[in-house]
Every structure is written in structure tokens, then in C-alpha cells.
Chain A
Amino acid sequence: DIVMTQSPDSLAVSLGERATINCKSSQSVLYSSNNKNYLAWYQHKPGQPPKLLIYWASTRESGVPDRFSGSGSGTDFTLTINSLQAEDVALYYCQQYYNTFHTFGQGTKLEIK
């Protein structure tokens, strides 16, 4: 199985500042035939289902504010949230869908400082 490791486990950022969450896969999730990284980011708030933010490592899902962006390739990826808003407090997960077992990272808890 591909192991996904996120860092940090928790993060406190001031309103209006930038939050950065990292995700590292135990093997590359870049599919050479189409040059796509099979990596997604989700936001999960208590009492709600998770929400897709980013897929193909950097493509923003429709309706997701442009302060959310994804970057990286191969084994190292980053979710960046610019100008942090109060409603961004949540757990954030990366997930690889490169192989048949679509493993998630352990999650990063984002709070307001």
C-alpha cells in the first residue's frame, strides 16, 4: 500500500495569514502516461461529510475559493490556504488514488491562532 504522511499534525494560523499543509507519499503517484498526479485534498468539518478541494494535485474543484491551492508532484505535495478565514477551521486530508487502494493521510487539524 502507498502510505501517505501529512505534516504537521496540527497547525494554528492567524486570520488573514497563510496556512501550509504538506503530504508525502511512500511512492510516486505521478502516472507517466498522462503526466497527472493522482492526489486529492479534502476538507472535513465536524458533523459534515468531507469536501473535495483539489484533485490531480492542483486542480481546484468547482466552487472552492481560490485561496485554496495545491502544488507538488511525484511524492511531495502541498495544500496552501491564503488569507485564512474563520470558516477554514477543519481537518484536512490528502488522498492518493494512484493504485487500487486509495489511502488517506492521517489528517491535519487547522485552527485559528
Chain B
Amino acid sequence: EVQLVESGGGLVQPGGSLRLSCAASGFIFSDYVMTWVRQAPGKGLEWVANIREDGSLKYHAGSVEGRFTISRDNAKNSLSLQMNSLRAEDTAVYYCARAGKGTAIDYWGQGTLVTVSS
């Protein structure tokens, strides 16, 4: 069974940093593109970042470019999102997700809440 379990969310002050992690199991992690998607309160889904199977290529949404960095450790079946210079508008539930159907997202974690507030 495919499982994606996020951790690392919480309350952080504006300008602060946070690192989200996602533990993957039930599939060959290194065979898949992985993704972070977020949903701010009362808003729709927003794609945040992708990383290729071997970690060689990474793409970030313009809204987080230069502040967030996606990474992966295939030996540990782990996906991460380093978030720096956090802003109030980064407050959201962050989902770890697997891109499995031509990079459409076929599995999602339950999400972890990040709150940026003073």
C-alpha cells in the first residue's frame, strides 16, 4: 500500500524557516517524480514544486522560487521541502504527493499545516 506521511508543520514567525519532510513507503520511491502541493485557508490547490526521480531537476512555483527548495533522499525514501523567509501568505496545508500517471498526482499524503504568524 502506498503511503505518504508528512511531518514538520507548525507555527513559525514571518521571516522564519521550516523544513517539511515526507516519508514514503509501499512503492519504489526512486521511480517517481514527487511533488508538493499546498492549500491556503479558503483557497484552492496550488502546485508548489516538483523533483525528478533522481533529484537532478527541480522546479518551483514562482510564488516560492528562491525561498523554498525541494529535495529528496532516495536511499531513505524521503522527500523534503526547505522553506525560508516565510510569509503570512505561505500559511497552508502542505501535501506531499506522488506523480504517477504521466506526472498527474495519483497518491497524496494527509497534509501538514504550516502557519506563519507573529
Contacts and interface: CB of A to CB of B under 8 A. Distances in A.
Interface in B82-115: 95, 97, 99, 101-106, 108-111
Contacts, number: 68
Nearest to A36: B102
A50 B47 CA distance: 13
B27 interface: no
Contact of A95 (B47, B59, B61, B110): B47
- What DSSP secondary structure best describes chain B's contact surface? strand
B26 interface: no
Q: Size band of the A side of the interface?
A: 20 to 34
Interface of A: 1, 36, 38, 40, 42, 44, 49-52, 55-56, 59, 61, 91, 93, 95, 97, 100-107
Interface of B: 35, 37, 44-47, 50, 59, 61-62, 95, 97, 99, 101-106, 108-111
